[in-house]
Chains A and B, each alone.
Chain A
Amino acid sequence: MSEKRVLVKVDNLVKYFPIRAGVFKRIVAWVRAVDDVSFEIYEGETVGLVGESGCGKTTVGMTLLRLYEPTSGRIIVDNEDTTFYFMPKFKAKKYLQKTYIEKFKKEDPSSFTGIDKKYYDLYKELGESGFYNKLLSELNEKKSEFRKTMQIVFQDPYSSLNPRIRIKTIVSEGPVLHKVIKKSEVIDKVKAALEEVGIHGDHMYRFPHQFSGGQRQRIGIARSLLMNPKLIVADEAVAALDVSIRSQVINLMLDLQKKHNLTYLFISHDLSVIKYMSDRVIVMYLGKIVENASKKELFDEPLHPYTRALMSAIPVPNPDYKKKRIILKGDVPSPVNPPSGCRFHPRCPVAKEICSKEEPQLREVKPGHFVACHFPGSLK
């Protein structure tokens, strides 16, 4: 693990959505969709992000791609802080000041690692105003680089392609804008990209409604692929497909990963798909990460009661397979008013008193196996 390069590092990511009501649209409450989440994605691996509706898994993906602006936290891509890229300039400067300058002035420089160390060296070299100028310059180029690095494949093949434009435009629009491909080579490149995902190249002049669900999903993949990204966020990319089509798309994604050395963040509610696709699995519940481990670790020995319950709830297509059924009581609570202490405690079969009072931190129980539970492994 340690020799692999970190492609994306998410630090203490928080995303709250306001609930507004009344005449003046006052904010009356917050939906705590993602509440202090940290993880890393290594180059070339597939991270599976699994959880039920309302757990914040889609919000993580969307915030990572900056389709939502994070409420707080830091998103580091390719060893560059990208958090301030999409902020207005005065906010970006404020962010840099709060995140870095204040820290540099107060703390011991020898304790800095990773991005902090990199930026500290820059700060020493250029001084405070030079530091701002350097980081806030060429933001448009940086944004463009960001878009090229990270792409997304969506769940709904019917909503993810604009019904009124041709496949050629759908697939080539982004790459042409970011000069990944030249205008003169659009036809050749689109054709190649389509054929790579198993769509006849001549069909680039058709409209989305002329394709089936599985084919549209392939077109969506081609659109991302032609940007030549390093990371693709796949948000329930196979959930809406028929069973016999699902395996086609899954296999296609695995083949493309090998060929282009892609990194995937594969978001799904379905543990069996996650198990097949992923190298590492992150389990989320109500805006928090409850477990993060390699696939083998997680499936051989899930330590969080929620992970275990989730596994037992997945129907296995084998009538001879005997499993212990753990039926959780109650519904998933609302992320507007999450329970105190451990958010899972009202449904947890092994919850004790401390669970309702103290929030368990995500800690490394075994090498590379993180779990947020006061009593990991207690549910058998």
Chain B
Amino acid sequence: MDKKPLLQVRNLKTYFYTEDGIVKAVDGVDFEVYPGETLGIVGESGSGKSVTSLSILRLLDPNGEILEGSEIIFDGKNLMELSEDEMRKIRGNDIAMIFQEPMVALNPVFTVGEQIMEAILLHQDVSKNEARKMAIDMLRKVGIPEPEKRVDEYPHELSGGMRQRAMIAMALSCRPKLLIADEPTTALDVTIQAQILELMRELQKEYGMAIILITHDVGVIAENADRVVVMYGGMVMETADVKELFRETRHPYTWGLLNSIPRLDIEQERLYNIPGIVPDPLHFPPGCRFNTRCEFADERCRKEIPPLYEIKNGHFSRCFYYKKVEEAQKLKKAGESA
């Protein structure tokens, strides 16, 4: 982990100005991504995980704004200072993105091949014929059978899993250094999800790219990420190495989340309930964003936003009482072994 980070996000604040008020979708987020690793961002609806990824590519809706003072440093360049033209060169070439719903990202009036070729021709100096060959190779690489035939098909002729593969082919056609995958498998069946995740692992090994994997599924994170960022209410709640996060949880939200999911690997008596509802991003509570649902919360949590405490090297928690979580975890482990 002493390597230089590929991407550094510093104090990222993205606000949306709506008729009902200001939505602080992302409110001071810091993290970095190292070359070749998979960073998992996990959170529920309204946690700001998707807005974070769109902010990195500066692909926000017109009413959204990245605030002054936010820094997104990619490969030594601050993306915030680039012109729209320079940004366009980065998108698709150095940083590619895949989405939950491939039908949104794929243009229905062009064939799959044309769309992959377009990306290749835009960023690389090759002839049309070469681009077509590269597109077919790419389709083969992502496991699409009969790529010579599929290259001339339209997106609607492919199944959901095949579409997702085609989108990955398109995203990887220019060998990006960073791939942002926003809920890439949420719309898919579990057996297809397993195929796609396997494919992404293989391609990462081959290309050595870094991946930001955004999902609400803690299981997908556990199996695919190297490091994890847990987001809630537009802020980072906890960051750690994936094994560390699951073994040595230090934030009440992460702790509650892990105990509230039904699991295949262990027997569970009763699932833990995180009380209350997911807060509306228009009306976050003052102080710690999680205080209304936290069992450890007190006066202090309702007034001050806790800083990110560094508990260990690379393990951060935004909680005044992270020690209490540690105790709860010890208790639970003692109970399980007894």
Instruction: Note whether A and B form a binding pair.
Output: yes
A contacts, CB < 8 Å to B = 52-53, 212, 214-215, 242-248, 250-251, 254, 269-273, 275-277, 299, 309-321, 323, 325, 327-328, 331-332
User: When chains A and B are docked, how far (Å) is the Cα of A272 from the Cα of B246?
Assistant: 18
Closest B residue to A321 by CB, please name it. Answer: B265
Sample of 20 further A-B pairs with CB below 8 A, known A52-B190, A315-B193: A243-B217, A243-B218, A243-B257, A243-B260, A244-B256, A244-B257, A245-B277, A248-B273, A250-B262, A269-B190, A276-B271, A277-B262, A311-B264, A314-B264, A315-B217, A317-B222, A317-B258, A319-B246, A320-B243, A331-B192
27 contacts between A and B (CB under 8 A): A214-B277, A243-B217, A244-B257, A244-B260, A247-B262, A247-B272, A269-B189, A272-B261, A273-B262, A275-B262, A276-B268, A310-B190, A310-B191, A311-B264, A314-B190, A314-B219, A314-B264, A315-B217, A316-B219, A316-B223, A318-B246, A318-B265, A319-B242, A320-B246, A320-B247, A325-B194, A331-B160
Q: Is the CB–CB distance between A325 and B247 below 8 Å?
A: no
Q: Is the CB–CB distance between A319 and B223 below 8 Å?
A: yes
- Distance to closest chain A CB from B329 (angstroms): 14
Closest B residue to A215 by CB, please name it. Answer: B277
Residues of chain B with a CB closer than 8 A to A251's CB: 270-271, 273
- Distance to closest chain B CB from A341 (angstroms): 20
Tell me whether B81 is interfacial, beta carbon within 8 Å.
no
User: When chains A and B are docked, how far (Å) is the Cα of A115 from the Cα of B222?
Assistant: 50
B contacts, CB < 8 Å to A = 44-45, 159-162, 189-195, 197-198, 216-224, 242-243, 246-247, 256-258, 260-266, 268, 270-275, 277-278, 293
Q: Is the CB–CB distance between A317 and B219 below 8 Å?
A: yes
Residues of chain A with a CB closer than 8 A to B45's CB: 242
Q: Is the CB–CB distance between B161 and A331 below 8 Å?
A: yes
- Distance to closest chain A CB from B285 (angstroms): 15
Residues of chain B with a CB closer than 8 A to A320's CB: 243, 246-247
Instruction: Tell whether A275 pairs with B264 under 8 Å between CB atoms, given A314-B190, A325-B198.
Output: yes
Residues of chain B with a CB closer than 8 A to A273's CB: 262
- Distance to closest chain A CB from B223 (angstroms): 5
Q: Is the CB–CB distance between A242 and B44 below 8 Å?
A: yes
Instruction: Tell whether A327 pairs with B198 under 8 Å between CB atoms, given A214-B277, A314-B219.
Output: yes
Residues of chain A with a CB closer than 8 A to B256's CB: 244
- CB within 8 Å: A-B pair count: 135
Instruction: Choose from B162, B197, B261 the contact partner of A317 (Cβ within 8 Å).
Output: B261
User: When chains A and B are docked, how far (Å) is the Cα of A89 from the Cα of B261?
Assistant: 49
User: When chains A and B are docked, how far (Å) is the Cα of A214 from the Cα of B266?
Assistant: 26
User: When chains A and B are docked, how far (Å) is the Cα of A136 from the Cα of B4?
Assistant: 79
Residues of chain A with a CB closer than 8 A to B162's CB: 331
Closest A residue to B42 by CB, please name it. Answer: A243
- Distance to closest chain A CB from B248 (angstroms): 12
Instruction: Choose from A52, A244, A269, A319 the contact partner of B278 (Cβ within 8 Å).
Output: A244
Closest A residue to B217 by CB, please name it. Answer: A315
Residues of chain A with a CB closer than 8 A to B243's CB: 319-320
User: When chains A and B are docked, how far (Å) is the Cα of A252 from the Cα of B224?
Assistant: 32
Q: Is the CB–CB distance between B262 and A276 below 8 Å?
A: yes
Q: Is the CB–CB distance between A272 and B264 below 8 Å?
A: yes
Closest A residue to B293 by CB, please name it. Answer: A244
User: When chains A and B are docked, how far (Å) is the Cα of A181 from the Cα of B68?
Assistant: 60
- Distance to closest chain B CB from A294 (angstroms): 14
